[in-house]
Structure 1
Amino acid sequence: MSRVEEQFKKLSKLWPDFESRSGQIQMANSVEQAFASSEHLIVEAGTGVGKSLAYLIPAAISALEGEEIVVISTETKALQDQLIRKDIPLVSQILGQEVKAEIAMGASNYVCKRKLGNVLTQGTFGPEMMEHLNSFKDWVSNSESGRRQEYDGYASPDFWSKVTREADSCLGRSCPNFSHSFYFLERAKWQKSNLLIVNHSLLAAHIASDFNILPDFKKIVVDEAHNFPEVLGNAFRIELSSLEIQKLLQGIWNSQKKSGLGARLNSPKINDLTNHAGEKLFLCFNKVVGELPLNFYGSQRIRRPLKMDGGELEAALDSLQEALLIELKKYSKDSDEIEEKEIAMELEMSSGRIGQIAEGLHLFRTMDEGERVYWADPPNTKTKEMFPKLLTQPLKSETILREVLEPRTESMVFTSATLSTNKGDLSYFADRIGRLPSRSKLVASPFPYEKNALLFLPKDIKDATESAERNAADLSRYILKLIELTKGGAFVLFTSNKSLNEIIETIRPLTDLPIISQLEMGPEAAKNRFLAEKDAVLFGVSSFWQGVDIRGDKLRSVILTKLPFQPPNDPVLEARSEKLKEKGGNPFKDLQLPYATTVLKQGFGRLIRSEKDTGIVSLLDSRIWTKSYGTDLINSLPPAKRVTEWNQLKLEYSKLPNYSSGEAV
């Protein structure tokens, strides 16, 4: 018997409802072996396996015995909360010793006491905060972490931006608040932890910052790993927004208000150089507009270097950066004077950002840095942006994972309920993480899908490519029938905002059930409203296809309106497809279909979250029947009972177990 098996035997004494699951122990043994042998591991563990305990127990043992930090990375806050509040305390009980665990968050999640003091002293808060300041100050006085997620009062987004930490402008050890800084006290706890819980974005930012955010670690578990490669690629993205550059320049010198860093420096030269750069900014992005085809609705690839303004904006920014660096020599971050420290930090931050922008512009003019994809996004009308945003990122995040992260680790464990495609094939995910030398394991869900879930696959829905109007009518008809059948308790999930808005306007006047739109309320508020309302129906897009965990009778139906393929004109997908074609590959088969399979499995997974959940998953896309890949997509899903006729669905739904009444327990 392995050590982890011995620990699981203790669980039944600590947790009366615990049932030993062979799949959970198999996974735990695999994780233990991977850590002991310094190997990498890919584990698909179906919903209900209990994968968090299966990796936490061996991770805790490894951390305690090796006196090291094991990092656990997740995508969702809900899973982080579960780990820190429920699972890790249980692991401590099982092992008979404290497992020190901390949640690490990005710097902007922590209140900066210096910035807060400046805002309160200078009165630079908006009128919306007047009646809330006392409660905010009371919370800061009593909080141990200063994390904004723990504050349950009101604070406007503008206020948060003014009082939370900025890495670029932090005085660090030179700050008078350093010894009681929320962020640095938390970082000290990170160093002493056995298990450090992070989210994918922070882990990716840590890698992109040359490993400067988190403590050193050699072992890592990436849970909810299906999206990690995409998050990692995004962390290395460069964005050039004319509006953001303008804000940065105005922070240095605002000629209309006579304010900014230049005013504090009393430097006419820096003010003049900033004005000059602002003029060149407008001219440069005007030239960019002339080089790009008109497209107000979506991203467009940039396939060849842009002429832009021939480098005039770069030159103006280089001159400004040089002047800022010369000015920086007059100030010291180690000064006893707070104002001098702040000016030194602001000069360092501003010059650094100016340099990064100049380098980004150079990239778009030369495209001389390895394999990258370049594109432009349309102006953001909400922020009244005038010009397109320029973006570039590495073409292959798997190269970053293999060449940057892997050499610094001994063992990486990747796990999720949805890593495989058809028939347990893990090759797509293995490709996405750079074909690391790794072992793999598939652990099936123990849930009785055949008894508890129905998969409704109607055959009479018009293909949207043949008639968008007929397709919308068919969708509306079936959605209305389905939500009435289950008396609400439904998610209706879309792949586009446009389609959601069209269908919800049709449905609302035809039902008395509470209809909630993610697009109107935002994801968090929409979810909370769904949980609070009886028999509600939530219309959602991408964020509700995955990561949402609602157990019990509250959610009885998940309606998937369309197969979740990526838009073929997505710049990164398009570039990856071209590279694959050059090597003789098939982009649809090797990229688009595996991606859609993974997301479809995630969408299905919203319904059955425990062994007593029941209900219907409906897939209202005719391509399941008309395309050759339809069978493979359906076969990749859990083995729910399949139904194609409406009358049969009504009958089968009436026969589902009713666990809340005691039936079938």
Structure 2
Amino acid sequence: MAQLADAAVSESPSVADLLATAVEALGGSEREGQQDMATAVERALRTGEHLAVQAGTGTGKSLAYLVPAIRHALEADQAVVVSTATIALQAQLVDRDLPRLTKALQPVMGREPTFAILKGRGNYLCRHKIESGAQAEDPGDDQLFDPFQVSALGRQVTRLHEWAEQTKTGDRDELVPGVPDRAWRQVSVTARECLGASRCPVAEDCFSELARHKAGRSDVVVTNHALLAIDAIEGRAVLPEHDVVVVDEAHNLVDRVTSVATGELTSSGAAAAARRCAKLVDQALSDQLLDAAEGLDTVLTDAPVGRWESMPETVGRMLSSIRNAAWACKQALGPEREKGTKENDADAAARRFATALVEEVHDVAGRLLAAFDREDPATRPDVVWQSERELNSTAVRTLHVAPLSVAGLLAARLFGQSTVVLTSATLVLGGSFDALARQWGLPASGSETTPKELPPDDGGGHGNDPATNLVWHGLDVGSPFAHAKAGILYVARHLPPPGRDGLSPAMLDEIDGLVRAAGGRALGLFSSMRAAKQAAEDLRGRWDGTVLCQGDDATNTLVQKFAAETGSVLFGTISLWQGVDVPGESLQLVMIDRIPFPRPDDPLVAARQRAVDARGGNGFLTVSATHAALLLAQGAGRLLRGTGDKGVVAILDSRVATKQYGGFLRGSLPPFWSTQDPKIVRGALERLRDAD
């Protein structure tokens, strides 16, 4: 079979020829990095070996993986899944790249390749829920809301019902402007709540099912990391059958998978499940669950906020009561009724909603209890902590349970089942792919290669058997930017290390001096909103230019204003580190206030560091420094977005120059020319400013 498939592929145009056709049709130009990446991806799809590719901004990586992926899909007659982390990239692929690419390839491929986008069921309107009038049970329904909030929710739901009559896809992302989650829950269902195509009376018109059917007939299916995790890790077959997965924005994969694998439990959530069951089971059973939920609320008040080393005895007893009561309710609700039974549609939906809620409460409570079965915390599969937030002047406490690591899950259920290509502009940290490879569950094999060093294809199909060692290669195809000529990396070694009391006067002076030298044109990336606002307020008091700060308006609006008004300044926090694309003279200075280490009190980070230390490794470098290096590289990547861009990345945290881990951080950044002399930097910025 492998020989037949190879023979069929050899009769098709080569990837190099297809890429040339695509580039010409799309009005682009040939790029060496793009060609190297396409060749490496094509090889991975033939051998089954996994591939990690770092491709800098401007490489054209989307075409570099889409062209060989489409060729493979048509020859193998099987879908290729492309997973992204952001809605923006999904939109770019589905609305711009794929429509033009498939038309360009049609004449040489014999037919026009097909593509579709697929999201989780909760992203689509549920026609049955709308038509049956069923309402979502919100965990916050037992809180008090003022009349304005209630009427606002009603207006939003009314708007959603009107939109349901017009939309062709039911896709939440197509609703502009959007609505809060609380309103959306009134017209959508989770996968657990869904009646299923065989039971739902409007299944033929179901937006989610229509999207899945379209995906099942497509050559390329674009999805997100969360749905990929659900399909691979939770074992739910939500994606069409496939043998290849392309993970774009792969630097975000572990965080997104961890989020999907994290469970949460609140007393109000357990109470909501009890209320859902009240009319469907014996009242004594639902009352048991409601009583247990109220008891949990009481004992959590006395339990510590933060990570738990052991389960408080009172909480353990109450969680056992919740787990047992939820199971009793689930058993009483019984199995799903077959289509055509006497139960009407509304009752079937109510039963399904109730079952979904009690199943989730039961499963999370059981997982919380099992998390402490092992005596050594470093070997426990899950981490447990309690958080607290204010809602309508009331403290809401939530229990969280998250996997200590997702590496094993990814190794067995993603890399062990499909050929995987991972790509991003930021995958090499400290000069190696190994830091991220370990998090993905791939061996830190030191298998980074150049295009010419890729081993010959032996036709082996390695990497698809979870019982064998996973074989992978890392490839850095570089960037079209001449970083050393176009950019300067400035580390302000003379500044005092950042403290806990906000930005120091010396740092505020430094920001003012850099902004003045650049004539604005600056993006300030801060580790907290407090710091961003402090810097913005201080600069407004010193400088006459336009200072924009995240929170003053919608982030997208602020970015558009910043790009349109040359000489303005934009300060903000985490979403700007990865989400700003402003080529040209509007952005010539990127300032970073401090190394973006995760919070030291982050429960999951602390547990992961301790586990690495327990195995004899360096937990700080493996977890916190890797996290910081990834964000630093993403932040520095905001500077050069077009081939004509020039400027400075200024890191105002002296620890990058003075601490031992600074070398690892600097080795994760683009290869800019570097200096620690503020006079040199200000002079360069002034020359750039005066040249425009």
SS of residue in 1 equivalent to 2:63? helix
1:146-295 to 2 correspondence within 5 Å? 146-153=170-177, 155-173=179-197, 174-249=199-274, 251-252=275-276, 261-263=277-279, 265=280, 269-270=282-283, 272-292=284-304
**Structure 1 residue runs without a partner (length 5+):** 253-260
Who is 1:420 aligned against? 428
Conservation of the 8 A alpha-carbon contact between 1:607 and 1:617: yes
Deviations 1:548-579, CA, capped at 9 Å, x for gaps: 32323333321111112223333223222222
Equivalent residue, structure 1, for 2:465: none
Which residue matches 1:483?
515
Judged with a 3 Å threshold, the aligned counterparts in structure 2 of structure 1 residues 214 and 15 are, in CA distance, closer, same or farther, namely closer
Give the partner amino acid of 1:420. V
**Distance (Å, rounded) in 2 between the aligned partners of 1:377 and 1:513:** 44
Alignment pair present for 1:318 and 2:327 = no
Measured against aligned partners, the alpha-carbon deviations of 1:613-664 in whole angstroms (never above 9, x if no partner) come to 22221110111232233344334322333343444323322444999x7xxx
TM-score for the superposition, normalised by structure 1 = 0.87
Kept in 2: contact 1:241–1:390 (CA 8 A): yes
Determine the C-alpha separation between the residues in 1 that align with 2:355 and 2:520: 56
1:196 and 1:384 map into 2 onto residues whose CA distance is 45
Bigger mean CA offset, 45-54 vs 160-169: 160-169
Q: Which residue does the alignment assign to 2:541?
A: 509
Shift of 1:10: 2.1
Instruction: Give the superposition deviation at 1:136.
Output: 5.0
TM-aligned CA deviation for residue 454 of structure 1: 2.7
CA distance in 1, matches of 2:325, 2:628: 48
User: Structure 1: which amino acid aligns with 2:636?
Assistant: F
Aligned to 2:504, what secondary structure does the other structure show?
Answer: helix
Question: Which digits, 9 at most, give the CA deviation of each residue in 1:45-91, with x for residues without a partner?
Answer: 12222111111100000011111111111111221122112222232
Deviation (angstroms), 1:42? 1.3
Q: Corresponding residue for 1:403?
A: 412
Contact 1:239 1:392 in 2 (8 A): yes
Alpha-carbon shift at residue 584 of structure 1 (Å): 2.1
Q: Distance in 2 between matches of 1:551 and 1:335?
A: 62
Tell me which residue corresponds to 2:480. Answer: 446
Q: 1:76 to 1:552 in 2, by over 3 A?
A: farther
Amino acid at match of 1:428: A
Report the 3-state secondary structure (helix = DSSP H, G, I; strand = E; otherwise coil) of the residue aligned with 2:185: helix
Matched, 1:305 2:311: yes
Structure 1 position 237, deviation (Å): 1.4
SS at match of 1:167: coil
- The 3 A distance-change label for structure 1 pair 376 and 521 is farther
Structure 1 residues 350 and 83, CA, compared in 2 at 3 Å: closer, same or farther?
closer
Amino acid at match of 2:66: L
Deviations 1:289-335 (A, max 9, x none): 4343xx5xxxx321223312552452355235324532436965653
Shift of 1:455: 2.4
Question: In structure 2, what residue type is equivalent to 1:45?
Answer: A
From 15, 21, 26, give the equivalent of 1:15.
26
Aligned pairs for 1:35-46 (under 5 A) are 35-46=45-56
Are the counterparts in 1 of residues 265 and 361 from structure 2 also a CA contact under 8 Å?
Answer: no
Q: Over the residues paired in the alignment, what is the CA RMSD in angstroms? A: 3.2
Q: Does 1:389 align with 2:419?
A: no
**TM-score between both structures, scaled by the size of structure 2:** 0.84
- Mark the CA change 1:500 to 1:650 in structure 2 (over 3 Å): closer, same or farther: closer
* Partner Cα distance (1:108, 1:474) in 2: 49
Deviation larger for 240-249 or 598-607: 240-249
Distance 1:635 1:364, change over 3 A: closer
Q: 1:154 to 1:66 in 2, by over 3 A?
A: closer
Cα distance in 2 for residues equivalent to 1:13 and 1:323: 62
Is the alpha carbon distance of 1:387 and 1:9 closer, same or farther for their aligned partners in structure 2, counting shifts above 3 Å? closer
Match of 1:67 in 2: 77
Supply the AA of the counterpart residue of 2:57: T
Is the 8 Å Cα contact of residues 493 and 655 (structure 2) preserved in structure 1? no
Amino acid of the structure 2 residue aligned with 1:44:
Q
Match in the other structure for 1:543: 575
Contact 2:160 2:187 in 1 (8 A): no
Counterparts of 2:322 and 2:618 in 1: how far apart (Å)? 46
Change over 3 Å in CA distance of 1:77–1:633 after alignment to 2: same
Structure 2 residue 471 is the aligned partner of structure 1 residue 455? no
Would you say 1:464 and 2:535 are equivalent positions? no
Which one has a larger percent helix, Structure 1 or Structure 2?
Answer: 1
Instruction: Note if 1:351 corresponds to 2:361.
Output: no
Matches within 5 A, 1:560-639: 560-639=592-671
Q: Equivalents in 2 of 1:478, 1:440: separation in Å?
A: 39
Identity of matched residues, %:
28
The structure-2 alpha-carbon separation of the partners of 1:128 and 1:567, relative to structure 1 and needing over 3 Å to count, comes to closer
Compute the displacement of 1:529 (Å).
5.2
Give 3-state SS (helix, strand or coil) of 1:105's partner.
coil
Match of 1:95 among 84, 105, 109: 105
Distance 1:185 1:308, change over 3 A: same
Is 1:111 aligned to residue 125 of structure 2?
yes
The alpha-carbon distance between structure 1 residues 128 and 531, as it changes in their structure 2 partners (threshold 3 A), is farther
Contact 1:240–1:360 (CA<8 Å) still a contact in 2? no
Q: How many Å separate the matches in 2 of 1:177 and 1:477?
A: 64
Q: Distance in 1 between matches of 2:37 and 2:593?
A: 34
Alpha-carbon distance change, 627 to 274 in structure 1, aligned in 2, over 3 angstroms: same
2: distance between equivalents of 1:324 and 1:637? 53
Please state if 1:430 is matched with 2:462.
no
> How many matched pairs?
635
Is the Cα–Cα contact under 8 Å of residues 168 and 349 in structure 1 kept in the other structure?
yes
- Post-superposition offset of 1:26: 0.9
Partner of 2:6: none
SS of the counterpart of 1:376?
A: strand
SS in 2 for 1:488: coil
Is 1:78 matched up with 2:78? no
Tell me by how many angstroms 1:245 deviates: 2.5
| Mapped partners of 1:601, 1:39: distance in 2 | 27
- Give a deviation string over 1:480-513, Cα, whole Å, max 9, x none: 2333333433321112334334333433433444
Which structure 2 residue ranges, 5 or more long, are not aligned?
1-9, 139-148, 444-469
Farther-moved stretch of structure 1 (62-71 vs 509-518): 509-518
Alignment partner of 1:3 out of 14, 31, 54: 14
| SS of alignment partner, residue 411 of structure 2 | helix
Secondary structure of the corresponding residue to residue 19 of structure 1: coil
Specify the alignment match of 2:57 in structure 1: 47
